[in-house]
Amino acid sequence: MNVRDLIAIDVHTHAEVSSRQPPDVLWQPFEEAANVYFKAGKRPTITDTIAYYRERRIGLVMFTVDSEFQIGARRISNEEVAEAAAENSDIMIAFASIDPHKGRMGVREAEALVKGGIVKGFKFHPTVQGFFPNDRMAYPLYEVIAEHRLTAIFHTGHSGIGTGMPGGGGLRLKYSNPIYLDDVAADFPDMTIIMAHPSWPWQDEALSVCLHKPNVYIDLSGWSPKYFPAQLVQYANSQLKQKMLFGSDYPLIAPDRWLKDFENAGFKPDVQPLILKENAIRALRLEAAA
C-alpha cells in the first residue's frame, strides 16, 4: 500500500456482493433488517467498493464475515477478497474471516491464507459467530495471527445485525462486550487487536482495555461521529490519541458522510490526521511491510 499517496485509511469495510457466487437466501432477512436499522440501500459489489475508494484516494481494509456456523449463511470466500487486494495492492488490504467454531479446519485455512502473503488480518464478529472472544476454542486461530504479527479485528458493542428481528435473529449481544478482549490482549501481546465501533453500551470498558493494553486499538466505524459518546471523543483527544482509527463500516456508513461529520464532532485538529491515517500505519505495521 502506498500510504503516502492516500488521504486516509479506512480499516473497516465489508465485502458485500460477490462477483462469483449468488447472494445466499438465508442471509436475506438479516440484510433486510440491517437495511432498516442503518437506512442502507442497495449493496455494492467488491469491484464497486474498490472503485469508490480509488476515486477518493482512501485506502481500505476489506473483509467478509463468516457466519456459517451459527447462521448457516454462506460467506463470500476469503480468496475472492484476497485476490481483489492482490490486484489493487496500492490501496487495498485483505483481512479474512474464519469462524473459530471451525476448529482445526479453520486453523488450516488461516495458515494457508497467511502463507499466501496477501491476508494481513482476521475479522471476528462474536455476536454473529456466537462465541466469547476469550473462549479457548478460538486460541489456536489467534496463535496463527500472533505468530505472524498480524491483526485481529473484533466487532464490539450493540449489533445492527439482528436488531428488530424476532429474538434479535437469535443473536446475543453479550458476546460483544469488549471486556472479554482484555483476556485476549493479555494472552496475545504480539497480536494487534482492533475493537470495532463505539462499544455502546460498554464504551467505558473499551476505553479502559485500550488504555491498559498497548496492542489494542479502537476503530470509529459504524456510527456517524455526530453520535459518538462524549468520553470516546474525550479520550481520542487525549490519552488515546495514538490508539483510534478511522473506519466507516462501508457500505452501511459511507466515508463521505463519516468524514463530513468527523470534522465537526469535537476532534482536535492535531488529532484528526492521527485518526485518519497515521495510527493505522502503526497499528497495521504498513511501513515495515512496504
Applying CB under 5 A, the residues found at the interface with Zn ion are: 249
In the complex, what is the shortest distance from the CB of residue 61 to Zn ion, in angstroms, rounded to a whole number?
Answer: 11
Residues in the chain: 290
Nearest to 247 by CA among 1, 10, 9: 10
Other Cβ atoms less than 10 A from the Cβ of 128: the count is 26
Nearest by Cα to 89 from 122, 124, 52, 117: 117
Cβ distance to Zn ion smaller for residue 205 or 249 = 249
Residue type, 147: E
Minimal CA–CA distance to 232: which of 157, 132, 123?
157
Q: Quick one: 100 or 247, whose CB is closer to Zn ion?
A: 247
Backbone angles phi, psi at 248, to 5 degrees: -105, -45
Query: Which residue of this chain has its Cβ atom nearest to Zn ion in the complex?
Result: 249
Least distance to Zn ion, CB of residue 248, Å: 9
Nearer to Zn ion (CB atom), residue 201 or residue 273: 201
What are the beta bridge partners of residue 218?
195, 244
Map residue 59 onto helix, strand or coil: strand
Minimum distance from residue 14 beta carbon to Zn ion (Å)? 6
The residue among 44 and 271 lying less far from Zn ion, judged by its C-beta, is 44
Q: Does a cis peptide bond (omega within 30 degrees of 0) precede residue 201?
A: yes
CB 12, min distance to Zn ion, A? 6
- In whole angstroms, the minimum distance from the beta carbon of 136 to Zn ion comes to 25
Minimum CB distance to Zn ion smaller for 24 or for 249: 249
